[in-house]
Copies of this chain bind each other. A is one copy, B any other.
Amino acid sequence: MLTLAQFGAGRIGQIHARNVAQNGRCRLKAIVDVNADAASALAGDTGAQVMTADQVFTDPEIGAVVIASATHTHAALIEQAAKAGKAIFCEKPIDLDSDRVAACLGVVAAAGVPLFVAFNRRFDPNFRVLHQRLCDGVIGDLEAVLITSVDPAPPPVDYIKTSGGLFRDMMIHDFDMVVWLLGERPVEVFAAGSCNVDPAIEAAGDIDTATVTLRTGSGRLAQIFNSRRSGYGYDQRIELHGSAGMLQASNWLEHSVTVATDQGVTGAKPMHFFLERYALAYKAELDTFIDAVADGAAPSPSGEDGRVALLLADAAAESLTANRPVNPGL
């Protein structure tokens, strides 16, 4: 039974802590958060205790940490955890700066601890079926990946200001999916974007609508469409074109009821947002992490996967500014 401590008691932290508490193969011992009230409330909910970071890193009973705190704290916590010999489950991203990421991964490698970067979408049951079918060869050789990924509504502008921007905060998930599905790293990234949803996002230096094209060395192509606002829920679709057919993962809907009237036939919207759509993915990624720790296997997605997705986001950002395709240097 793996004993864990968790950093971060915010929205995503609450998801992870509850999943750890309910998972029969691990135990949540501690919650760490600078916000004492949040830490205390979440600890109460999950049967954990509030601890400090130092207490966690020096507690021999704690074998692993879940890092779900603010983004700017991730890299330092990873390094401390690595030096303390803890297995690490970290929310994306490791850091918004790729040099900082590389340095951090060096510390992890030196410590020899497992680092799991929690790209939750890889664990969505639908996308897992998609990936499995692809690996089974049902569409032959993969030639193109088309991703539509649209949030129901934009986050607060204050969040956007510290998020690293649309490419590093939102599309980073899609970059990871592209690499996971292609099994090949893109050599070229071209981004176009604009601000349609909210002028305040533009004032904050970001965009809210973007299309990105990626190309691999072998000539495979990917297209990603992102918008911060759908108006109809969380739109999360992937389409794979291969030499013998096409695979599609459609949205997962709120329910299966349709009503037919003289106005047409109306069915459910996609599940509202990530809390609903990826509820099972969050549970599954935790299980995968526990398996990897138990088996001594290399975690996947790895720290390197986190670095690759960040470099693709960086390349997209540079492409948008320079208005030309950019080699991400992978």
Minimum distance in angstroms from A254 CB to a CB of chain B: 8
Known A-B contacts A213-B213, A248-B258; the reply to A241 vs B192 at CB < 8 A is no
Q: Pick from B225, B250, B264: contact of A256, CB below 8 A.
A: B250
- Tell me the bound Cα distance from A324 to B229 in angstroms: 29
The answer on a CB contact under 8 Å between A188 and B196 is: no
- Tell me the bound Cα distance from A244 to B233 in angstroms: 11
The answer on a CB contact under 8 Å between A244 and B256 is: no
The answer on a CB contact under 8 Å between B245 and A232 is: yes
- Tell me the bound Cα distance from A266 to B107 in angstroms: 47
The answer on a CB contact under 8 Å between A260 and B243 is: no
The segment out of A64-72, A139-147, A162-170 that lies at the interface is: A139-147
A3 interface residue (CB < 8 Å to B)? no
Known A-B contacts A245-B232, A269-B265; the reply to A257 vs B129 at CB < 8 A is yes
Residues of A bordering B, CB below 8 Å = 22, 125-126, 129-130, 133, 138-141, 143-144, 146, 148, 150, 188, 190, 192-197, 209-211, 213, 215, 219-221, 223, 225, 227, 229-233, 235, 239, 241-252, 255-270, 323-325
